[in-house]
Structure formats: structure tokens, C-alpha cells
Amino acid sequence: MIEIPLDPVGGVPLYRQIATHLIRMVQNGTLALNDRLPGSRDLASSLGLSRNTVVLAYDLLEDEGYIEQKGRRGAFVSWKRPHKVMGLEDSGPVWDLASGLPSFDMVPTERLALLARDSLLSCGPSALYDTPPEGLMALRKALVRHAARRGIPAKRDEAVVTSGARHALSVYIHAMALKGVRRLWVEELTYPEVRRMAEGAGLEISAVPVDPDAFLGSLSRILPGDLLYLIPSFHNPTGRTLSHEQRKAVLEAASKRGFWIIEDDAYGELRFGETSVPALKSIDREDRVLYLGSFSQLLFPGMRIGYVLLPEDARKEFLSVLERTSGSTSSLVQHVINAFIEDRSLEISLDLARNCMASRMKALCGSISGSMPQLPFEAPQGGIYLWLRTPGISGTLASVTARKVDVDMVPGKSFSFPQREIQAVRLSVSRVSTAMIHEAVARIASAWKDLP
């Protein structure tokens, strides 16, 4: 049995002291790769602690890439992520409900490593040479086939590879400005980077309401040639999804009024609700929708891979902006991702991600309902975000208070246009395990109970 020195009266949680000590043992070589750790019950009994404390420590170690838990076989040392030691003086948030990045167990590191090696061996030096601005032809074909999973009947020539969804969005906005667009419409609550991109492209910005009924009614204000930015599926930050009827109404308004729509579908493939949610692009008959997709954000964010499906009428401007600002995406990354799609690794990884996010979101919704039943929210049908309203409490105060108990979240004000205080916060489940979610919500409830 491993002896772990603990300070029960110190300011650092016991589970974190356990994790810190085990990390030091891994980094010093005391615990070697594939060494089996004591079972959570045995270690808890040895230390005189509850089993849940050890479970939290093991979950944190797995999220940080130091161990791999294999069910009844136990927990084993893994070197998926070389990390600095988590010092006891480190007082940063432990429960990250703010980030959209994946926990380390979600990243298919070993598979990607094999595919990168195979790509270099099979393609030789060409894997390291630039591709055309549109991207590797084989990958573009694979992405068109992949888009069919979202119901989109795209053509190969419509697909262009980008360096992530944010890159695609920036190029779209600058390309449409080059095409003559002068105004971008966004929802009152939306992805905040889009506003900075629009300002950088010299576009004026106007807002439409988030409420579905008011939103549809406001579409009559959008002028011909304007651009509307939408996240129809599993919205960031609210988690909302537009119904099929609402999507049809948006397209009818775009056709009647003559405006363009950017569909940001970065989380569209993470549906875990019972109702099918095809992409807005899939029912677009007049090429009014500029589609962008990405699966890298939740699986391998550092590789930064995304793609767009371009109407012919916007292709010239998009490629012009792409060539003069960034050029093509990393050739090696494109070869690896093409192989990742072709051997069904992407399909398998997305299925695992859906199941994992569904489990975590269920845990988050259940914990909030049990610990803070007075706070309203709508359980999302997919994605990674939950919008928690905090009536009578500003989102800024709520998030600052939560951070004092080591829980990080994003205040609603960060997503507001025009920027104003919002009585809500955005919570994410992509970075934390189910066990950590329960502890995080318990801490939030305790911290918020004395707020005015």
C-alpha cells in the first residue's frame, strides 16, 4: 500500500493532496508506466478517508493524463500528458466548468500518434508540403461524405479545409465584407469572438433577440445583403436548439429578404437528445447558408481543423481572403485527419464523446435540480453547455463567488451584445468528470446560499 502524507487542517482539499503526491511519484519515476495503483476502497481504508475522496483524486489524475482507469481491472499509470507538478500553493480553480476544451480522457492520443507515423511513412515528404488553399483533395472528399451525417447533400467542390472553426468564421466574415456586406446580425447572447471579428472587418453590428418567438419576428429588420450569424444547434452559450419549423422560418425569411446566414455547427454532431437535429444547411434550397463545421474542438483542439461548405457565389471571396491571410492548413494535420475519418476513428470518437457528454450533462442537471431547485434552466439536447439562470443575482457576482470555492464558470455578461449584466452563467461539462460535477455543484450551492 502507498503511504501518502496528508495535512487535514491545511487549506488544500485532501483529494488534491493525494493527486499531487501521486503526480510527484510518477514524475520522479517512483511509479512507472503501467504500474497499477491501489484500489480506491483499499487506499481510502489505508488513509482513513471516504472512498469518494480517493475517487475524486483518481478522476483528477485521469483528467490530467497521469493515469488510466480500466474499470474492475483498476487504475494504471499513463503518460498521456507530461505535466508540471500541481503544487500545493496552486490556488487556481480545480473544477473547470468554464472551458470548452476536452478532458484528457477524451483525446484519442494513441490513435492520432499511430496515424501521424503512418501518414509520414506512407506519404513521405509530400505529407510536409503545402496543399492547395482549398485543402487536401482526399480530405475534402472525406469531409463531404462526413457532412452527409448532418443531412447535408454537399458537393466536393463546396468543401474548403480551415484551421479550426474560429478561423473559418473569421475568413467568412472578411470574405463577405469583401463581397459588399456592411452589417452583421448576431443574437443578443452569442459567441463573443464574432463581434471582434466583425469589428476587425469593418462591419456594423446589430442584434436580434434570443427568445425564439421574438427572434423570428425580428428577422424582418434584416436588410437585403446583410449577414446573420447563427448557432442553430446546441447554442453557445444557452444550449438552445432551433426546431425544424423555426429553421424553415429562418430560411424563408432569408429567401424573402435576401440576406445571408452563417451557420456555426461546431457542436452539431454532439446530439444526445431523442429528437434528430439536422443542420440548417441540409434544408437550404437557395444557397443562402454559409456552413462551418469542426470536430476538433472536443477531440483534439490543438490540431485546429475545421471546414466550410461554400455556395459558389461566395467561393471567390473566401479563397481570396484565405490565401492572403493564412494560406492552407497544416498538410500533416490534414493527412492525419483524413486517415482518422477514413478508418472510422472519427465516428467511434464522436460516439464516445456523445455518450460521455450525455452522462456528464445528466449529472449536472440532476445535481443542480437537487442542490439548487430554485434556479431555472433548460436541459440541452446536445453539446457541452448549460445556461443556468440566477434570478436576483448577477452572473458576474455568481461566478466570482464560485471561484472562491475553486469552481470556474463564465458570467452571462461575457456573451451579451450590447454588453450588459445578465443574471445567468454558462456551465460546461467538457472538462470535468461526472464525479467532479457532483462536487462542483455542491460547492456552488454552498457558496451561493448566502448571496443577497
In a domain, 367, yes or no: no
Q: Model's pTM, two decimal places? A: 0.80
- Check whether residue 69 and residue 148 sit in a common domain: no
- Indicate the residue among 327, 346, 365 that finishes a domain: 346
Residue 79 confidence class, pLDDT cut points 50, 70, 90? low
- Check whether residue 146 and residue 212 sit in a common domain: yes
CA distance 137 to 94: 43
- Check whether residue 80 and residue 127 sit in a common domain: no
- Check whether residue 251 and residue 286 sit in a common domain: yes
| Structural domain span for residue 130 | 110-346
- Check whether residue 169 and residue 311 sit in a common domain: yes
Other CB atoms within a 10 A radius of the CB of residue 84 amount to 8
In a domain, 402, yes or no: no
Residue 93 confidence class, pLDDT cut points 50, 70, 90? low
In a domain, 282, yes or no: yes
In a domain, 389, yes or no: no
Q: Give pLDDT, residue 227.
A: 98
pLDDT in tens, 342-371: 999 999 999 999 999 999 999 999 999 999
- Indicate the residue among 319, 346, 373 that finishes a domain: 346
Total domain count for the chain? 2
Average pLDDT on 87-93 reads 45
In a domain, 245, yes or no: yes
Where residue 287 falls (left for φ over 0; alpha for ψ -120 to 50; beta otherwise) is left
Instruction: Single out the residue of 427, 413, 321 nearest to residue 367, CA to CA.
Output: 427
In a domain, 187, yes or no: yes
pLDDT in tens, 293-339: 998 888 888 888 999 999 999 999 999 999 998 889 999 999 999 99
Q: How far is CA 212 from the centre of its chain?
A: 23
CATH label of the domain that carries residue 334: 3.40.640.10
Average pLDDT on 80-92 reads 44
- Indicate the residue among 300, 326, 346 that finishes a domain: 346
- Check whether residue 129 and residue 83 sit in a common domain: no
- Check whether residue 20 and residue 74 sit in a common domain: yes
pLDDT in tens, 403-432: 999 899 999 999 999 889 999 999 999 999
User: Is pLDDT above 90 for 94?
Assistant: no
Residue 28 confidence class, pLDDT cut points 50, 70, 90? low
CATH label of the domain that carries residue 60: 1.10.10.10
- Check whether residue 135 and residue 76 sit in a common domain: no
Helical pair 331-342 and 137-147, crossing angle rounded to 10 deg: 40
